[in-house]
Structure 1
Amino acid sequence: MSIPLSPSHPGRIRAWVLAARPQTLPAAVTPVVVGSAAALATGSFRWGPFIAALVAALLIQIGTNLANDYFDFRKGADTEERLGPTRVTQAGLLAPETVRNGMIATFGAAALIGVYLIVVGGWPILVIGVLSIAAGVLYTGGPWPLGYHGLGDLFTFIFFGIIAVTATAYLHAGTVPPLAWAASAPVAMLVTAIIVVNNLRDIATDRRASKRTLAVMIGARATRAEYALLVVGAFLAPPLLWIGGLTGPWVLLAWLAAPLAIAPLRTMLTAEGRALNPALKGTARLHLIFGLLLALGMVV
């Protein structure tokens, strides 16, 4: 049953906040912070590119959230059986066309900021920006949506992890230092882990909607193993950065985030369905805190 939206202005504001899914926004902040820290550690940092990259990343994340809200509803993946956080289109809080227009406007704003970033970074940033926006739309939209064909995990790893970190470093330095490449791996692992929680929770409903996520394709047991490997792999990265001579021992500060991994890991290994929602929030928090500590460790 759709939830009627109050015609009052505050009601619409709350609906747009829900649509933007603020709990997901740290996933956009962390790569920019880590990429900037890698640049600073190698002698390059500029405030202009940092702020512009941060705002553009947030807008792309919000645009992707709106795209998922709109396209999953249109394709029938979001129904009354939905187990995750409220989707405003499915819940009737905003009309589908309104969410679609919001998506277009948000990606358009990101593109406008991208003009400045292209001036700073040149054609590589143009290519990355176009591909990033395209990935945000095509994750659930288009004739062959990536998330419906088992490619969501891979594209999240690449675009919201590897590319987000290395492109940020490139904006500062005009090149990508080895530290940025290496530091992008754990960031990519943890942001992908967020998607894995989401997909494990929704295996049953996604299967009924013919949404073939990687979790649907490989099953719950392998999906739980994937999550564990991603989280453990992220924590193996800091000592490897130190041993490899890319940064100093302070990078081990990232291990202070380890206690935050315990509850999500336990939940992922034992829970099902809606009971996995706390693991979603916990993994997003882990991604942010780990990333901030990793960035601090690289610049100390």
Structure 2
Amino acid sequence: MTHSIQADSGWRVWWQLTRPHTLTAAFAPVFLGTMIALNHTSIRWDLFLAMLVASLMIQAATNMFNEYYDFARGLDNEKSVGIGGAIVRNGVSPKTVLSLAFLLYGISAVIGLYICSQTSWWLLVVGAIAMAVGYFYTGGPYPIASTPFGELFSGLFMGFLIVIIAFFIQTGTVSTQAVLLAIPSTLLVAAIMMSNNIRDMVGDAESGRKTLAILVGRPAAVNILLAFFALSYAWIILLVIIGAVTPWTLLVLLSAVKPVKVIAVFRKFSEPLKVMPAMKDTGVTNTLFAFLLGIGLLISHLL
């Protein structure tokens, strides 16, 4: 079977530029943080929607910064896998991509001001730091994505922090339960980055990047990815055993088939196009896990 990468047209150019398979990394923690808050207060859905839209825009903008700076550094070409391809395949001006990214940042900042006005202005500082991390992940002279700390930064800022903020804007506080339940989100967002870096190891090494996957080697990187998955599920089981969360949260186990499939694909194949489904399934795992965890909390609340 021959694999090929074709150019997009029309609205698909702009949709692919957002890298839709990564947007779940923004949706999942917002949903989870809000469901955790159910045990403490009634939900303000205007704040939930504002947080969700702002997070999705920041994630999409981060992807566009990635698209722009990888092109500017000569890392992407028309055969590159996992990119939006707006610049190298579809002929969109690099300046347009960069301007669109800053526009999304601007809109999310305005939404952030509304959230702050309804909650706490301290979130302005937290949001600014998160947006800076999104930009410097691939932008600036020393992009985070080129270091061994990509998984750490993405996990903390796109996984842990978003859950905590989503919880805080509803409750005005941070609880121990919220912190504990943000741990799997941290690991699974880090897993998305790790799967991406495993897929891109050859190209990244040729470009001089020093990602964690490159430093430890492919077999160890796949094992680290497996550990991210295993620890996420084991963490929930442990919390249930010690009585920190309801047994309904064990619904997350229904999603376990996905990471099993991901690891199997990464161990069988190494070509970027062949492992692309595994990278996408890693994002699906993050979404299903957070959704099922949130549903478990919701059921417990209703009962």
TM class by shorter chain equals: over 0.9
- Contact 1:81 1:205 (C-alpha < 8 Å) held by counterparts: no
User: Which residue of the partner structure matches residue 289 of structure 1?
Assistant: 288
Deviation at 1:44, TM superposition (A): 4.4
Deviation at 1:3, TM superposition (A): 8.0
Q: Secondary structure at the match of 2:88?
A: helix
- Contact 1:178 1:246 (C-alpha < 8 Å) held by counterparts: no
> For residue 292 of structure 1, what is the amino acid of its counterpart?
F
> For residue 284 of structure 2, what is the amino acid of its counterpart?
R
Deviation at 1:241, TM superposition (A): 2.1
Deviation at 1:173, TM superposition (A): 0.4
Deviation at 1:12, TM superposition (A): 4.3
Cα distance in 1 between the residues matched to 2:209 and 2:88: 16
Cα distance in 2 between the residues matched to 1:245 and 1:194: 29
Q: Comparing 51-60 with 204-213, which one deviates more in the overlay?
A: 204-213
- Contact 1:39 1:177 (C-alpha < 8 Å) held by counterparts: no
Cα distance in 2 between the residues matched to 1:112 and 1:224: 40
Cα distance in 2 between the residues matched to 1:4 and 1:48: 38
Deviation at 1:257, TM superposition (A): 0.8
> For residue 297 of structure 1, what is the amino acid of its counterpart?
G
Q: What's the TM-score, normalizing by structure 2?
A: 0.92
User: Which residue of the partner structure matches residue 208 of structure 2?
Assistant: 210
Cα distance in 2 between the residues matched to 1:128 and 1:276: 35
Q: What's the TM-score, normalizing by structure 1?
A: 0.93
Q: Comparing 25-34 with 39-48, which one deviates more in the overlay?
A: 39-48
- Contact 1:15 1:93 (C-alpha < 8 Å) held by counterparts: no
Could you tell me which runs of 5 or more consecutive residues in structure 1 were left unpaired when the two chains were aligned.
Answer: 6-10
Cα distance in 2 between the residues matched to 1:93 and 1:279: 28
Cα distance in 2 between the residues matched to 1:232 and 1:43: 32
* CA distance 1:207–1:154, change in 2 (3 Å): same
Deviation at 1:245, TM superposition (A): 2.6
- Contact 2:13 2:84 (C-alpha < 8 Å) held by counterparts: no
Sequence identity (%): 33
- CA RMSD of the aligned region, Å? 1.7
Aligned pairs (5 A) from 1:1-300: 11-274=9-272, 275-300=274-299
Q: How many residues align?
A: 294
Deviation at 1:154, TM superposition (A): 0.7
Q: Which runs of 4+ in 1 moved over 3 A?
A: 2-5
Deviation at 1:85, TM superposition (A): 4.3
Cα distance in 2 between the residues matched to 1:264 and 1:272: 12
User: Which residue of the partner structure matches residue 8 of structure 1?
Assistant: none
1:243-272, CA deviations, whole angstroms, 9 ceiling, x for partnerless residues?
333221111111111122221121122221
Deviation at 1:80, TM superposition (A): 4.3
* CA distance 1:282–1:196, change in 2 (3 Å): same
Q: Comparing 97-106 with 238-247, which one deviates more in the overlay?
A: 238-247
- Contact 1:147 1:213 (C-alpha < 8 Å) held by counterparts: yes
Cα distance in 2 between the residues matched to 1:4 and 1:230: 34
